[in-house]
Chain A
Amino acid sequence: EAGVAQSPRYKIIEKRQSVAFWCNPISGHATLYWYQQILGQGPKLLIQFQNNGVVDDSQLPKDRFSAERLKGVDSTLKIQPAKLEDSAVYLCASTSDLLNTEAFFGQGTRLTVV
Chain B
Amino acid sequence: QKEVEQNSGPLSVPEGAIASLNCTYSDRGSQSFFWYRQYSGKSPELIMSIYSNGDKEDGRFTAQLNKASQYVSLLIRDSQPSDSATYLCAVQGGKLIFGQGTELSVKP
Taking Cβ atoms with an 8 Å cutoff, the residues of A that contact B are 33, 35, 41-45, 48, 55-56, 91, 93, 95, 98-100, 102-103, 105-108
- Residue with the greatest number of chain A CB neighbours at <10 A, chosen from B34, B43, B100: B43
CB pair B100 A42 closer than 8 Å: yes
Within the complex, the shortest CB–CB distance from B87 to chain A, in Å, comes to: 10
Q: Count how many chain B residues have C-beta atoms less than 8 Å from C-beta atoms of the other chain.
A: 22
CB pair A33 B98 closer than 8 Å: no
- A102-B88 CB under 8 A given contacts A33-B96, A45-B95: no
CB pair B97 A45 closer than 8 Å: yes
CB pair A45 B43 closer than 8 Å: no
Number of A-B contacts (CB under 8 A): 51
Which of B94, B96, B100 lies in contact with A103, CB distance below 8 A?
B96
CB pair B31 A100 closer than 8 Å: yes
Within the complex, the shortest CB–CB distance from B64 to chain A, in Å, comes to: 18
Main secondary structure of the interface of B (DSSP, over half): strand
Chain B contacts of A100 at CB under 8 A?
31-32, 51, 92
Closest A residue to B92 by beta carbon equals A99
Within the complex, the shortest CB–CB distance from A65 to chain B, in Å, comes to: 17
Chain A contacts of B31 at CB under 8 A?
99-100
CB pair B96 A45 closer than 8 Å: yes
Complex CA–CA separation, A105 to B39 (angstroms): 13
CB pair A42 B95 closer than 8 Å: no
CB pair A98 B94 closer than 8 Å: yes
Within the complex, the shortest CB–CB distance from A111 to chain B, in Å, comes to: 14
CB pair A43 B49 closer than 8 Å: no
- A55-B95 CB under 8 A given contacts A41-B100, A100-B31: yes
B55 interface residue per 8 A CB criterion: no
